[in-house]
Amino acid sequence: MRIAIASDHAAFALKQVLVPWLQDQGYAVDDLGTHGTASVDYPDFGHAVGAAVASGAAERGIALCGSGIGISIAANRIPGCRCALVSEPLSATLARQHNDANTIALGARLIGEEMARACITAFLSTDFEGGRHAARVAKLSQTEGFLS
């Protein structure tokens, strides 16, 4: 499985720990930046992860910033990206099972390395249940009638 990962400066250190760990787990990893601790704008990196997943260049995405909030909003601006902000393994599991999330966001200032690994493990090892959830997930892409 190919995973796109990106972070802003606030989550750079966490990304530096997660990339080699993911590779050791056998995943192909595309590190989309940032590549240092200099201040950057999280939307740029949220958009990059969202675009990689939505285009099919990666099967899953991991977006990291200080809180996880901003980068998750940015990733979700890309049609076809379904990014869930998670903070523990149960939310990561449910994001996959019920929402077919293809990207998760984590807040580096809010969770530690071990919890990040636990969330990612749950996210990557859980399948979408489909069934009653499929029609709901399809509605996530529908905007006709809501914007005028």
Catalytic residues: 65, 98
Closest by CA to 116, choosing from 124, 76, 36, is: 124
Residue of 104, 109, 143 whose CA lies nearest to 125:
104
Q: How far apart are CA 87 and CA 102, in angstroms?
A: 16
The whole-angstrom separation of Cα 57 and Cα 49 is: 10
At residue 132, the 3 state secondary structure works out as: helix
For residue 11, give the DSSP letter.
Answer: G
CA 69 from centroid of its chain's CA atoms = 11
What span, in angstroms and rounded, lies between the C-alpha atoms of 109 and 97? 26
